[in-house]
Amino acid sequence: MAGCIGCGSCIGKRNCFRKDTVNDFTALIDKYDGFIFGTPVHYAGASGFMTSFMDRVFFIDEFNGEHLAGKPAAAIATCRRSGGTATLDQLNKYMADCNMPIVPSQYWNVIHGNTPEEIRQDTEGLQIMRVLAKNMAWLLKCIRIGREQGIEFPNHEQHIMTNFIR
């Protein structure tokens, strides 16, 4: 997957000129109430594929009405040993930038292991994922009940872009 080149061809179109998975995903955003973005850790950060995906999805969304705003999201990372929290920080910044409530667990959303068999042995990591799933389900229910009671997500404010180089 190629990275975003910031060309702006997606503005007003809600899709990228590159015909790939990003366009498939952006076409489905309105059909889902929440998202979990996961990645393996590569060099203490999200994989190159995931970084390219997130850059392009969130660039498209930011400049085309912010369809992700108000939708709960969580980031999860899987790693052998370290780099998980740096990866979560990287992914959480996309969600914060697009005004998405970030769903937590009871600890960092990281699970350890190189293989599915090793991951199944990380009992703490598995518990963290279960709690995360329960928290996501709870928040989605709260949002649904709130909407039924007339409580809507706050109105979107246009971004004010300040350039500090004068």
Containing domain of residue 100, as a range? 29-148
pLDDT at 165: 79
CA distance 153 to 140: 13
Helix (H) or strand (E) segment spanning residue 22: helix 21-28
We report the CATH number of the domain holding residue 122 as 3.40.50.360
First CA to last CA distance, the chain: 36
Structural domains counted in the chain:
1
For residue 123, is it within any domain? yes
Rounded to the nearest 5°, which phi and psi values hold at 71? -95, 125
Nearest to 113 by CA among 82, 84, 83, 79: 79
User: For all residues of the chain together, what is the average pLDDT?
Assistant: 93
Give this prediction's pTM: 0.90
pLDDT tens readout for residues 50-102: 999 999 999 988 777 778 999 999 999 999 999 999 999 999 999 999 999 99
